[in-house]
Structure 1
Amino acid sequence: MKKVRQNAKMIKPMFKSTRITFLFVLFLSLSGCNKIAEKPAIIVPQGVANQPLSVRVSPSNVNSGEPAIAGASDGSVFVTWVEHKKGKEANVFIQHFAGDGKPLSEPVRVNPQPEQATAWRGDPPTVVVSSDNTVYVGWTARIESSETIANDLYVSVSRDGGRSFNVSAKINDDPMPGPHGMHSLAVNKNGRILVAWLDERYLKKETASQDQTSSLQQSLPKGYQFEKVHDNGNQKKQQEHQHEEPNGEVYFSMSNDGGKTFSANKRLAGDVCPCCKTAVLAASDNRVYVSWRQVLKDDFRHIAVASSANGGESFAPTVIVSDDHWQIAGCPVSGAALATDTDNRLKVAWFTAGDASVPGLYSAESTDGGKTFSPRTLISEAASSGTPILLFDATEGYRTVWSGRDENLFGATTEPSTGNSINVREIKGLFPAATIAGGQLFTSYIKLE
């Protein structure tokens, strides 16, 4: 069965006004669970054990969303977010914060032309800070086109600590306007920029009937909602301008000149879940890993990984990480997270609601460069459909952050010998992003107003 999605370029947050905060966890080796009440600009005393510091990032009375965060070598962090204007207009901003939460800069707009950007909750901007403190931001630019849904992917580079950005370089090389999204960004130890994304340049869409739409909605598992989006960014109960959307394709490109130009786009896979985010990882041994959710026969949707042993020049055949038996005739907006440890063992984390076991957040490991994977391990049943964050810290091990139910976010350390979650923390928030800087965990997320 094909998927149905309303003709739209972006999904704005469903709430009229939101704000972004980031969570500074002062104590990492914690047990038990802590909650933070949902209040404006919470500041928890730093001297109290097991308590985090919450700092507001986005301005008041602004419709903000889609946060991302990256740590720098000096322990500071860069937070990006999107401010939505009326209609389809949006801007990507970035701000630099010290390790104690104090701002080190004013917010800076990344997109060179005002209101040029577009984003939605499943497809936020990306940010990476390299070892020399160069800041890279990946973002999506909208294209006005009466013929098709269309946007372009860009990477903007700052070499002065995020205070200014060079001319943005376009990544996708197709000559005609088309859809590109769900991108992921990484930079390897040699400064090579790596980007993966979903692409529909060669895919044809057909008009969907109301019967097809109803059938799709009924096929979703209990507790899931298939999003319909109108092209003005607002959710509508009445569907208009619907079309069937075929499965997407995964593309890859890289830059060897610091983001001035990007290589010819390379297709890695077809029949890909069209709104599940990609992931790309640059390992310290020069391997590159790309992940996506593959659509298999009869609409089974499983996490796939392709690996490159030569820095992204070529890729080995795709490997399915786990047979979860998740059969769903719709896109769950749920990608995977990738990380490697000091021995370059690859770990993958993802959500599934398949019949193989209970719905939840799972992980699996590869010790042979992504050729094979261990049986999956359950991280938590307290997870909802979404893309988790997986980080590795040489001192504390793996850190996982994920979305739960009822607007809760969870963070946990993974016990190395068993893979079980320990030191679980819980806060109120939506759509998290996370990084480790200076040995501390920072999480950016949305709070509702």
Structure 2
Amino acid sequence: MKSINLKLSLLLFLLFLAAWQQNAFAQKPLAPGEQPQLTVDRQGTVRVVFGEKDKIFYSVSKDKGNTFSKPVLVGEVKEMHLGMTRGPQLASSKDYSVVTAIDKKGTIHAFRLTHKTSQWEKIKNVNDAEASAPEGLISIAADDKNNFYAVWLDLRDNNSNNICFATLKENSGWSKNKFVYRSPEGHVCECCKPSVVVKENRVSIMFRNWLKGSRDLYLTSSSNGGETFSDSQKLGNGTWPLKGCPMDGGGLTIDARNNVHTAWQRDGQIYYAQPGQPEQMIAEGRSVGMSGTLLTWEKGSDIMIKPLNGTPQKIGEGTALKVYEFTDKSILAVWEKDNHVVFKRI
């Protein structure tokens, strides 16, 4: 009888532990909203921004994403682009965070948070040509010296989208805009979001090109903080002839050794590649992203995650997944589900 009671007690304990773990790591609601963006600074402060109609909201976590503050209003952008990778973008440096958002006329608005005061302010617009970014697709990044970098689709030349770039220094406004790539066939892929990553003086930009009817991913890099860029280099060996835009710009990271890693979709398949090397097929899916050594994508309504040397894992259902891996190997995931922003520790 004692043996039976002991086994029963152990079984109940294991069931309780399993239920506790499931609850502890279940997804939690943050707020109504769409298209969340996620950053983590040197001090481990987690910041999330997202859009709700024409408003931009911000929330912060001091405990690795276990709990978040009540969202506060960053600003409002009339007729803001929101959805399908369009929406507020976020980057954080040592002392500041910057948010950009594009209205449907093509103006790139910007807001800056001073970490010390926790105050947001509206700053100079990013684009220096009126209504030049109506496609609404932009990415931003920051370095450790409070410099910010932006890359977007811009059609000021011949009404065709090409890859435009600007920087923001701590004590000045956004720099004069410049094109880092113009397609010899007039335009790049018309509605795929470009990516930018920064490490020290290295700035790398990835974009989906349009050449000879194919829509492949290309990379250009700078070794001097964005002053000059290399010739663009095609990623992977295969090609994707396609008449329409896939609306899938891929993901891009730089590791501690300054190696560039990319992940992207081609014809419904997810590939990983480093510059100058053959691509590796990972899975089937779309809406690809990268954060550190983590690959993310969508497979139907499922959102997936995979370490470079690990196995794929479903972490929920929804879209617009953003992730971050902490030094203890725990992972924070933030995404959109049913017009709400949700989060989960893994």
Query: Under TM normalisation by the shorter chain, which class is it?
Result: 0.7 to 0.9
CA distance in 2, matches of 1:180, 1:161: 34
- Measured after TM superposition, the shift of residue 339 of structure 1 is 0.9
1:325 corresponds to which of 212, 235, 239 = 239
- Measured after TM superposition, the shift of residue 178 of structure 1 is 5.7
- Cα pair 2:30 2:68 within 8 Å, conserved: no
CA distance in 2, matches of 1:168, 1:442: 30
Per the alignment, residue 307 of structure 1 pairs with 221
CA distance in 1, matches of 2:188, 2:131: 21
CA offset digits 1:200-255 (Å, max 9, x no partner): 12234xxxxxxxxxxxxxxxxxxxxxxxxxxxxxxxxxxxxxxxxx5x11100001
CA root-mean-square deviation: 2.5
Aligned length: 317
Per the alignment, residue 443 of structure 1 pairs with 333
- Measured after TM superposition, the shift of residue 115 of structure 1 is 4.3
- Cα pair 2:84 2:247 within 8 Å, conserved: no
Per the alignment, residue 113 of structure 2 pairs with 158
CA distance in 2, matches of 1:100, 1:268: 36
Per the alignment, residue 375 of structure 1 pairs with 278
1:250 corresponds to which of 163, 171, 179 = 163
- 1:390 partner letter: M
- Helix, strand or coil at the partner of 2:137: strand
CA offset digits 1:30-80 (Å, max 9, x no partner): xxxxxxxxxxxxxx9895279723221114xxxx31111111333332111
- Helix, strand or coil at the partner of 1:48: helix
- Helix, strand or coil at the partner of 1:196: strand
CA offset digits 1:345-380 (Å, max 9, x no partner): 111110111xxxxx41111113xxxxxx21101122
Per the alignment, residue 99 of structure 2 pairs with 137
CA distance in 1, matches of 2:315, 2:331: 14
- Measured after TM superposition, the shift of residue 434 of structure 1 is 2.1
- 1:377 partner letter: Q
**Alignment of 1:81 onto 2:44:** no
CA distance in 2, matches of 1:77, 1:349: 24
- 2:148 partner letter: I
- Helix, strand or coil at the partner of 2:122: coil
CA distance in 1, matches of 2:77, 2:129: 24
Higher relative contact order (CA 8 A, sep 6+): 1
CA distance in 1, matches of 2:65, 2:235: 38
1:389 corresponds to which of 289, 294, 299 = 289
Between 1:330-339 and 1:424-433, the stretch displaced more is: 424-433
1:410 corresponds to which of 276, 281, 304 = 304
- Matching of residues 130-279 of structure 1 within 5 Å: 130-132=93-95, 134-142=96-104, 150-160=105-115, 163-175=118-130, 179=134, 181-204=136-159, 248-257=161-170, 260-270=172-182, 271-279=187-195
Structure 2 alignment gaps of length 5 or more: 1-16, 340-346
CA offset digits 1:86-131 (Å, max 9, x no partner): xxxx111111123252223x312222x4646332223132112223
Per the alignment, residue 431 of structure 1 pairs with 320
Query: Does the C-alpha gap of structure 1 residues 157 and 250 become closer, same or farther in structure 2, counting only changes over 3 Å?
Result: same
The share of aligned pairs that are identical, in percent, is 21
Structure 1 alignment gaps of length 5 or more: 1-43, 85-89, 143-149, 205-245, 354-358, 367-372, 393-397, 416-420
Per the alignment, residue 282 of structure 1 pairs with 198
**TM-score for both structures, normalised by structure 1:** 0.65
Per the alignment, residue 122 of structure 1 pairs with 85
- 1:70 partner letter: T
